[in-house]
Amino acid sequence: MRIEIINPNTTKQMTAKIDRVARKYKRPETEITSVTASCGPASIENFFDEALGSVGVLEEIKRGQTRGFDGFIIACFGDPGLDAGRELSQAPVVGIGEAAMLLACTIAYRFSILSMPKRSLASLEELVRRHGLESRCASIRLLDVPVNELDANMNKVTRLLLNEARKAIEEDGAEAILLGCAGLGGLDKQLEKELRMPVIDGVVAAVKLIEALHDYGLKTSKFLTYKPPERKRVIGFPNIF
């Protein structure tokens, strides 16, 4: 089976990191194609970034329709363009925020999300509510580190994350930790070892869910909400139309 992973931001190093994480846990017969959005911001940290990032996601899902992918992954924890993407595709579309939360529900009573920056609280709370999982979310804990400075400060970031994770465990009752940003890719098993608690990278979770859906032959429902968009005149967006 063939999965396209879409990095909704335009930072190629992040795509490379996402690709590495995905390949580490994919099944041998799964083919991964990771792409960087052709337009959009260098990182997604606020509602404005999300709005622009959605366009890149939709371009790729649209283009991917003719290339026979069996599933699409939106590799940003805020799941930008998720519902719109499902309208465009019958092959399943899964967001990494959604995937991390759904898998977490099967191994922990409550999870905490670690992400950045602090301003994204409202956006992440809406994400949790959108998926209906408020009662399963112990807390959202946010660092004030810019996403694009993560790689240059990985040691410091790891230390800060461990610190917040420990607070989530002691103060909020977290039983699993979700890495709330694709830029934290690759830290899962390291943190898991330190914390002795499940730590979930949504990229992996999404790959595994798409494989699962594919094995069972489940595709996006084309009733009501996710019917294909009506054909109509669109101005601009040359990469989509």
| Among 226, 215, 143, 208, residue whose Cα is nearest residue 179 | 143
Number of chain residues interacting with a second copy (CB under 8 A): 95
Rounded to an integer, what distance in angstroms lies between the CA atom of residue 188 and that of residue 152? 18
Rounded to an integer, what distance in angstroms lies between the CA atom of residue 89 and that of residue 39? 20
CB-wise, 17 or 50, nearer to a second copy? Answer: 50
CB-wise, 159 or 221, nearer to a second copy? Answer: 221
CB-wise, 134 or 152, nearer to a second copy? Answer: 134
User: Strand, coil or helix: what is 192?
Assistant: helix
CA dihedral 27, 31, 36, 39 (to 10 degrees): -120
For the window 97-126, what string marks contact with a second copy as x by the rule CB under 8 A? -xx--xx-xxxxxx-------xx-xxx--x
User: Is 55 one of the binding residues for a second copy (CB under 8 A)?
Assistant: yes
User: Is 31 one of the binding residues for a second copy (CB under 8 A)?
Assistant: no
Q: Which residues in the 179-238 window bind a second copy by CB under 8 A?
A: 189, 196-198, 200, 204-205, 208-209, 211-213, 215-227, 229-230, 232-237
Among 51, 154, 160, 162, binds a second copy (CB under 8 A): 51
Q: Which residues in the 121-140 window bind a second copy by CB under 8 A?
A: 121-123, 126, 129-136
Among 64, 78, 81, 185, binds a second copy (CB under 8 A): 81
Could you please report the per-residue DSSP string of 83-144? HHHHHH-SS-EEEHHHHHHHHHTTT-S-EEEEES-GGGHHHHHHHHHHTT-GGGEEEEEE--
